[in-house]
Structure 1
């Protein structure tokens, strides 16, 4: 899988870019967890999400936020990281101008950034938000949430407690015109240790395939 370097707001950003052979393949970006708590694009959940989307026929980009790995800059409380995500999407779109669908998937801190990106970019047709830390970050900007998506979390998550995720989903359910699908992985902690990773990726795959099938009817 090609390693890529592309321009970000604070200098170079490092990524892994995985193109399909089909020119109009859908595209997805995958966003990693908190940079100050060891989050990188090679996090197991991020890596598995990347391949889940690739195996469904998506051209996929995952990347390191500023200050992580070989990406330049330093941590910026989520503000700069949102700009990094926008630059990553610009880069992915510039390489795939015929893509019919555009998805964003994020894990933990990356889920928070992904949901903010959703608000800024109307071309995003779907999202996957894995273990969104609704106990740590304010998600009230999702008013209204512009597109349907999947929120997934583990029932034994001690980092982002399930009660907070359920509360977030409840608020999103009240909004008209979109459908939020909520799945809980029984017994899984925040990092989906085995055997829960397979359940996570299977749920994501089932959901995204269903959405893609519906869009072609």
Structure 2
């Protein structure tokens, strides 16, 4: 199994997007991971994103994480709305061309949960069948009728019970209002960034991939 990611540059709607890809010679799927709020310092190197990437890697998936517009080496300026989903859509189609026969899993942390969910909805509308969507401490209040979440793929929500950034009750209420089967996993004594709990997070994510 390969462990070293390779830097790549992917054409995006506002310019080049900086990314890290891990090719697996016999990958059984591919995972796209979306990072947290760029305005608050979120990048593809965030430790929760890194944990999600390693979980997907250890599950035998090829992986890709990337910086949204205006983050790191990615061109453009922050949008904090549909623009980051536009970036993720460009990356997703690049991946689908590279791995045309592999199922695609989307993972997102915090703001990245919103991005992954919105991307999933777009891809489903385009006829892409997703393997799974995993949203970790997701910014669900950003999801609206204009930007809905994916509806058809298996969905897992992972929410820290002591989250100081995302209101856990908002995530629980959003979960309760969903009109489709899904999984809600609550992580006790855990804050937003999973300090001291990254191993627990991997233990939750890995068997679901």
TM-score clears 0.5: yes
Q: Alignment partner for residue 173 of structure 2, among 163, 167, 173?
A: 167
State how far apart, in whole Å, the 2-side matches of 1:25 and 1:143 are: 25
Q: Alignment partner for residue 85 of structure 1, among 74, 77, 88?
A: 88
**Alignment partner, residue 201 of structure 1:** 202
**Alignment partner, residue 30 of structure 2:** 27
Q: Deviations over 1:32-68 (max 9, x none)?
A: 0011000000000001101100110111100000000
Contact kept in structure 2, 1:105 and 1:114, CA below 8 Å: yes
**Alignment partner, residue 95 of structure 1:** 98
State how far apart, in whole Å, the 2-side matches of 1:47 and 1:84 are: 19
Are 1:107 and 2:113 counterparts? no
**Alignment partner, residue 147 of structure 1:** 153
TM-score, reference length from structure 2: 0.91
Structure 2 gaps of 5+ residues are: none
Contact kept in structure 1, 2:118 and 2:143, CA below 8 Å: no
Please list every run of at least 4 consecutive aligned residues from structure 1 whose deviation after the TM superposition is greater than 2 angstroms: 138-144
TM-score, reference length from structure 1: 0.88
SS in structure 1 at match of 2:142: coil
- The offset of 1:6, in angstroms, is 1.0
Aligned-residue CA RMSD in angstroms? 1.5
Contact kept in structure 2, 1:118 and 1:146, CA below 8 Å: no
Are 1:37 and 2:37 counterparts? no
- The offset of 1:142, in angstroms, is 3.9
SS in structure 1 at match of 2:158: strand
